[in-house]
Amino acid sequence: MTAAELHLAPARVARGLRHRLPGWFSGRVLAGSLVSGFVMGAMLVAVAWTSFGAEVVAPPRDVQLTIPRGTAALLAAGKPSAIPSQISLTQGDRLVLVNDDVVTHTIGGWSVKPGMALTIAADSPVASVFACSIHRSGSLGLIVTPRPGLVDGILITILVSVPIGLVLFAGTTVFRNLEMDPEAA
C-alpha cells in the first residue's frame, strides 16, 4: 500500500458513511429543526401551563359551593337541587361550603349549619364520592388533581418538542429538495 492510498482511506470511510445516509438527509437541518421545535414546544407549554394553573404561576384558589335557600324543601318534594354533583379542584385549592338554607346539611363528615361557611383544604390528590344531603342521589363527587410542577413542565416540553422538531425537519427537507429538483421548475 502506498502513501497516497493511505491518505485516501479516511476520505473513503467518510464518503462511505455519507453514501449510507439518504441524499435528502442533513444532520444540521435535523439539529436546527429539533432546537426550533424545543423552543416552540417550550413556548406552547409555558402558555398552557399558565392557562391551566401551574404552581409557580397560579396561586391556590377558593372554590365556593353555596347551598341555596330551599334546597332541603326541593329534595323533600323529590326534585333535584341545582348544585353540581361533582366538584373539581387542584391540589392546594380550598372548597368553601356556604349554607344559605334553613336546615343543616352534611357533606362527607362535615356538617354545615344554616348561615355557616366551612372551608375545606384540598391538600392531596383524590377522587372520591362523599355522602351528602344536598342531592337526591345522596352523593357528591370530589376530584382533586395534583398541581403541575417543574418536572412535569420539562417532561411535557420534551414530549411536545420532539414531534414539532420532526415536522419542521420534514417540511424543511421537502422544500430543500423541491428547490434542488431541476424537473420541478
**pLDDT tens digits for 35-64?**
888 888 888 877 776 776 554 446 788 999
pLDDT value for 11 = 47
Per-residue pLDDT, averaged over 129-157, amounts to 85
Domain limits for position 49: 28-54+149-173
Is the residue at 180 inside a domain?
A: no
Of 82, 128, 79, the residue nearest 107 (C-alpha): 128
Q: Which three cell numbers stand for residue 135?
A: 342531592
Is the residue at 6 inside a domain?
A: no
Question: What does pTM read for this prediction?
Answer: 0.54
Degrees, nearest 5: CA angle 104-109-114 = 15
Distances (CA, A) of 18 to 29, 129, 152, 171: 15, 62, 39, 22
Confidence of residue 156 (pLDDT cuts 50, 70, 90): confident
Residues 162, 137 share a domain: no
The lowest-confidence range among 7-11, 17-21, 29-33 is 7-11
Confidence of residue 180 (pLDDT cuts 50, 70, 90): low
Phi, psi of 69, rounded to the nearest 5 degrees? -60, 135
Residues 96, 32 share a domain: no
The lowest-confidence range among 29-38, 77-86, 99-108 is 29-38
Q: Which three cell numbers stand for residue 157?
A: 416540553
Residues 164, 135 share a domain: no
Is the residue at 67 inside a domain?
A: yes
Residues 66, 136 share a domain: yes
Given a contact cutoff of 8 angstroms between Cβ atoms, the answer to whether 79 and 47 are in contact is: no
pLDDT at residue 144 greater than cutoff 60: yes
Cα–Cα distance between 102 and 91 in angstroms, integer? 31
CB atoms under 10 Å from CB of 129, counted, come to 15
CB atoms under 10 Å from CB of 84, counted, come to 12
